[in-house]
Amino acid sequence: MDRFITIMRKEFLHIIRDGRTLAMILLLPGLLLVLLGYGVSGESQNVPMAVVDHSRTAASQAYVDNYTASGDFDLVAMPLSENELLGMMDQDQVDVGLIIPEDFGRKVDTGESVMVHLYVNGSTEPTDAQTIQLKINAISQAAMQEVLVEQLMRSPDLGGVLEMPIDTRTKLLYNPNGDGGMFMIPGLIAILLQVQALLLSALAIVREREQGTMEQLIVTPLKRWELMLGKIVPYLLVNIFNTVVMLWLGEVIFNVQVAGSYLELVGLSTAFILGSLGMGVLISNISQTQMQAMYIAMFVVMIPAIILSGLMFSRDGMPLFTYWFGEFLPVTHYLEIARGVMIRGVGAESLLGAIWPLVILSVLYFTASVLVFRKRI
């Protein structure tokens, strides 16, 4: 029993003496719970919506108001054509598109049936896409009943022959069958690349310190950026190879094909891997032990990357703080790129809103890792 107490006391002293590790152990889990708790709470609201209103009448405006008044949809654009609307959906600017025909107002006034088209972005999480469709159906039914009541009030004698005034045709784009694998495989590829790149590079510098080989690096004429780049490039090549393998496995085993340019996707994946490696080396530079590096990588990057990047939960309903925390994670932007190229089949020119933040973060994290590193023990 005494030996057990001695070992336990020694371990407690070891933890207490390492103030940085003790602070992380005590503070990070609670902070992470608050961050992630807010990040996944609540249902997505204000889904971005675009409307092509060829009718431009009071009736069509009243119909659109049914969607925006609920708070579930946010009208962000009024494109002039169906092609312009579909282009916005390709670029992931909106998740719902509504097309109202030119004769909408006239047919509603005369009691004729009129068809409207609704497009839903199927490259989002399947559950979110289904929820959006359910909301659309509920709102369109309520709008149709409202129009019916008005028509009956104007012409009570038409009650027996009145047609359903609005026929809403909803189409799920990019993933018409609602296949969950098509949504999850690009996300899993992104997370697996993030985990491998981060863990490999997070131990790069701190491992040299613990093994006592840092002195050999310090006495060399290597510049800091050369040392950091030399640490990163081998892992970069390994992760590029893994990217190609996972894309191939996704197609062969899960039938998730790259709808866009394969070479563009690999090139953009390289930028993402560089950002993740730079972040890992930065963590390695600010850590004193491998345990600290692992703890920071796990609690500050990897777990938030799974919850806040859009892998499993929509980012639209997140509070401002958690939303912007996710913006500083390279995987958040890479997820948008991977799903855009693999599912929607769009090119790099349509993904500039995600590419530029990814490139900027990659440069910033690598630069920070160089600046933080000091050629000393």
pLDDT single digits (tens) 330-365: 999 999 999 999 999 988 888 999 999 999 999 999
Q: Residue 6 domain-assigned?
A: no
pLDDT of residue 42: 52
Listed residues 173, 192, 217: the one ending a domain: 173
167 shares a domain with 217: no
N-to-C CA span, the chain: 40
Q: Residue 14 domain-assigned?
A: no
Do residues 86 and 119 lie in contact, with contact meaning Cβ atoms separated by under 8 Å? Answer: yes
User: Which is more confidently placed, 214 or 185?
Assistant: 185
**pLDDT tens readout for residues 302-338:** 888 888 888 877 787 778 888 888 999 999 999 999 9
Positive or negative: CA dihedral 146, 147, 149, 153: positive
Q: How many CB atoms lie within 10 A of CB 71?
A: 10
pLDDT of residue 263: 94
Helix (H) or strand (E) run with residue 48 in it? strand 47-53
219 shares a domain with 158: no
**pLDDT tens readout for residues 221-271:** 777 777 778 888 888 999 999 999 999 999 999 888 899 999 999 999 999
Do residues 258 and 220 lie in contact, with contact meaning Cβ atoms separated by under 8 Å? Answer: no
Do residues 62 and 107 lie in contact, with contact meaning Cβ atoms separated by under 8 Å? Answer: no
Token pair, residue 262, equals 């394969």
* b/e per residue 173-187 (b: at least 16 CB within 10 A): bbbeeebeebbbbbb
Q: Residue 37 domain-assigned?
A: no
248 shares a domain with 164: no
User: Which is more confidently placed, 232 or 160?
Assistant: 232
Give the confidence band of 370 by pLDDT, cuts at 50, 70, 90.
confident
For the chain, the average pLDDT equals: 82
pLDDT of residue 78: 92
In this prediction, residues 92-117 reach a mean pLDDT of: 86
Residue 377 scores a pLDDT above 60: no
pLDDT of residue 3: 64
pLDDT of residue 91: 86
Task: State which residues form the domain around 231.
Answer: 179-372
pLDDT of residue 213: 67
Residue 41 scores a pLDDT above 70: no
207 shares a domain with 292: yes
141 shares a domain with 203: no
Angle at 202 between CA 245 and CA 28, to 5 degrees: 115
191 shares a domain with 61: no
pLDDT of residue 201: 86
The segment with the largest mean pLDDT, out of 27-41, 80-94, 157-171, is: 80-94
Of 20-29, 115-124, 274-283, minimum mean pLDDT range: 20-29
- Report the relative pairing of strands 47-53 and 114-121 from DSSP bridges: unpaired
CA dist 137 and 168 (Å) reads 8
pLDDT of residue 50: 93
Q: How many CB atoms lie within 10 A of CB 158?
A: 12
Residue 149 exposed, middle or buried by CB count within 10 Å (0-12, 13-18, 19+): exposed
CATH, residue 104? 3.40.1710.10
Do residues 284 and 370 lie in contact, with contact meaning Cβ atoms separated by under 8 Å? Answer: no
| Residue that is written with structure tokens 């991977």 in the block | 338
Number of domains in the chain: 2
Secondary structure (3-state) at 76? strand
Of 14-18, 205-209, 251-255, minimum mean pLDDT range: 14-18
167 shares a domain with 260: no
Listed residues 153, 173, 193: the one ending a domain: 173
Do residues 53 and 60 lie in contact, with contact meaning Cβ atoms separated by under 8 Å? Answer: yes
Residue 33 scores a pLDDT above 80: no
pLDDT of residue 69: 84
CA dist 266 and 270 (Å) reads 6
In this prediction, residues 35-45 reach a mean pLDDT of: 63
Token pair, residue 239, equals 């992760």
158 shares a domain with 90: yes
